[in-house]
Each structure stands twice: as structure tokens, then as C-alpha cells.
Structure 1
Amino acid sequence: MSMNDEYQPINCDDYDNLELACQHHLVLTLKLRSGEVVEAKAKDLLMRKKVEYLVVEASGEQRDLRLDHIESFSHPEIGTVVVSAE
């Protein structure tokens, strides 16, 4: 999936779970659609040019992950959430 693909908003419930993770700075295990697995602390959600991102901190570095590039995320408190389109 290229970064130029048109952004597909994610399901509202999935977004709400990510928002909760950010509020509590939960460390999530994120599986990206590219196959990459990232373990990172959820920091913030932001929108840039009509594309939504999850801001995470992994190994001391900040990354912005496009929400529609996240296949699933998990944490013991919220379980595993498979991200779906709106």
C-alpha cells in the first residue's frame, strides 16, 4: 500500500479505542497492513491534510501511523481490535 492511496476513515468504535489508548498512554502492539509489527506507546491522534494519524513513541522515537494502515492493535486492557473501514 503506497502512502499516496486515498485515505479511508476507520470505524468510529476503533477510533474511540485508539483515543482511549492515547488518554491512558497505553503501550499497544500494532500490526500494520504492510506486515510490520510495532510495539509503541499511544500518544495522540491528529489530522493532516484530511488524513488521520496515530502518534506513537517506539524506542524513544516518535512515529505517525496512518490509521488506515493499521490492521489491528492490542493491549491487555482492551483486547485485540481489528481495524475496519467506516
Structure 2
Amino acid sequence: MSMTDEYQPINCDDYDNLELACQHHWVLTLVLREGETLEAKASDLFSRKQVEYLLVEKDGETRELRLDHIVSFSHPKIGTIEISHS
């Protein structure tokens, strides 16, 4: 990821689904823009320097994922959500 990579906000409905996942600490299957797929527990959403992040936990470690770098996420209660940008 380059430092000049300008943040592209995601659709509000997609954000709301991530917020729901964080509230329930759901384990999501996430597909990232770089091709990586991971399963991790959704913990929190936060913003830093006008960039939004999802904080996830996996195997006792936390990781920050830029929302605009998530291609899709899924959980049995919400199905698969393909991220769209606002």
C-alpha cells in the first residue's frame, strides 16, 4: 500500500453491517484488495487522519484493516457483502 493511496469512503449500508458485526463480535471471512482472505473477529471501527479502519482479532493479535481495502466480508447472519464505495 502506498502512502499516496487516497482513502475512498465505503457505502453507508456496508459500514452499518460492519458496525453490526463489531457489536456482536462476529467472526467474519474477509477478502482484501491484495487478494488475501482471512477469518477474524470484528472488534471495532475507528477513524484516523480521515481514514476509516476495522479492527479485527485473530489468534490473540489485532490488526487494522482500511475499509477501502476490503473487497467483501461475510457471516452467516448477514450473508456476503461486496463493498461498494460512496
Give the TM-score range, shorter chain.
over 0.9
| CA deviation profile, 1:3-29 (whole Å, cap 9, x unmatched) | 530000000000000000000000000
Kindly report the root-mean-square deviation, in angstroms, between the aligned alpha carbons of the 2 structures.
0.9
Q: Within 5 A, what are the aligned runs for 1:1-86? A: 1-86=1-86
Q: 1:67 to 1:40 in 2, by over 3 A?
A: same
**Segments of 4+ in structure 1 off by > 4 A?**
none
TM-score (norm. length: structure 1): 0.96
Count how many residue pairs are aligned between Structure 1 and Structure 2.
86
Q: 1:3 to 1:20 in 2, by over 3 A?
A: farther
Unaligned runs of 5+ in 2: none
Shift in Å, 1:60: 1.0
| CA deviation profile, 1:12-63 (whole Å, cap 9, x unmatched) | 0000000000000000000001000010000000000000000000111000
Unaligned runs of 5+ in 1: none
